[in-house]
Copies of this chain bind each other. A is one copy, B any other.
Amino acid sequence: MSEKIKESEVDIVIAALSPNLTAFLEEWRSFFSPFHLIIVKDPNMEEDLQIPAGFDLQVYTKSDMEGVTGATSINFSGHSCRYFGYLVSRKKFIISIDDDCLPAKDNSGAIINAVAQHLTNLETPATPFFFNTLYDPYQKGADFVRGYPFSMRSGVECMLSCGLWLNYSDYDAPTQIVKQNERNARYVDAVMTIPMRVMMPVSGINIGFNREVLGPALLPGLRLPGEGKRRWETMEDIWSGFCAKVVCDHLGLGVKSGLPYVWRSDIEDGGSALESLKREPEGVKLMEEVVPFFQSVRLPRTLVKAEDCVIEIAGMVRENLGPINPVFIQAANAMEEWVNLWKALGSHGA
């Protein structure tokens, strides 16, 4: 469980939503360059990509998507284009960071290697059965607190590492409008396991995961009508995070949240949040149905693979959420198509 992850086992997947990746990749160069990069160009973007030299990378575009997936109702546009990278990767691990994020600094002013921290989170066990008040017991200088049963200390394998954001937090449009001048300066020096059966909103901005095991659950399922390219206009990552958490809970696997931080640039503004909200208050409303649904999902014990769990969840989505809003029927369809693609393309790898 605690074996060191090799660089050759990792793909870094970048969703290119703006054409010029120069500043982004230059800032990340020292942390990204030991790894292979998969850059997926938003199929709705016309401009050519600008990518600096010196990286080991592969670019995927709209024509690759059409060639690989054939006829599919899965929509890979906007933030969802990254999922195409998850599908074509053959590596065990994926790190994915939004192209508007740069390396952040910790409290001592040191630049944070977000890739290394995600890999550490994935290398060390998660402890979902009991809460450790000292946070991640595997961090330097930490351990299990008095009263923590020794039998629970070995933990389980961590499958998903969710990082956080300095400067711009990942708020929804209404919160962004209310707090348009607020910046997040609070560096919380902790990683924690999200306990078993506890649901949380996974943001896709800055994550790492075990693609081999959990890949089928990291999928482009829920697409909001009128979804744009701003994070607060999307729910795809929140939805796929619920799928991933339910699957991890069912299979006895772990999810962590906390470090690493990335620096989210000041590219968004309250004015456009207001526009987003006028156009699309749907996502905020849908969560009122989505969260209780996923909190109640329990899967049959016979399911032991993520792909089978996702198919089961898709059926429950169609049955329980479908009658509320047709967007959920589409989500169920996309989940099933995703698993079919995953199998057909041999995405599991060896």
Contacts and interface: CB of A to CB of B under 8 A. Distances in A.
Nearest to A148: B201
Interface in A155-189: 162, 164, 169-172, 175, 179, 182-189
Nearest to A238: B147
A139 B184 CA distance: 11
Contacts of A291: 130, 149, 152
A231 interface: yes
B198 A139 contact: no
B146 A232 contact: yes
A24 interface: no
A280 to B, nearest CB: 13
Number of copies: 2
Interface in A185-219: 185-190, 194-201, 203
Given A107-B107, A131-B200, A198-B195, A171 B145 contact: yes
Nearest to A144: B175
A interface SS class:
loop
A257 interface: yes
B288 A149 contact: yes
Nearest to A200: B131
Interface residues of A, number: 57
Contacts of A197: 197
A184 B142 contact: yes
A133 interface: yes
B170 A145 contact: yes
A146 B134 contact: no
Contact of A133 (B142, B152, B162): B162
A300 interface: no
Contacts of A232: 146
Contacts of A241: 147
Contacts of A172: 146-148
Interface in A253-306: 257, 284, 287-288, 291, 295
Contacts of A133: 162, 164, 200-201, 203, 257
Nearest to A185: B141
A242 to B, nearest CB: 9
A141 B164 CA distance: 14
Nearest to A153: B175
Contact of A141 (B144, B151, B184, B203): B184
8 contacts: A134-B184, A145-B169, A145-B201, A146-B175, A147-B172, A147-B201, A186-B190, A198-B198
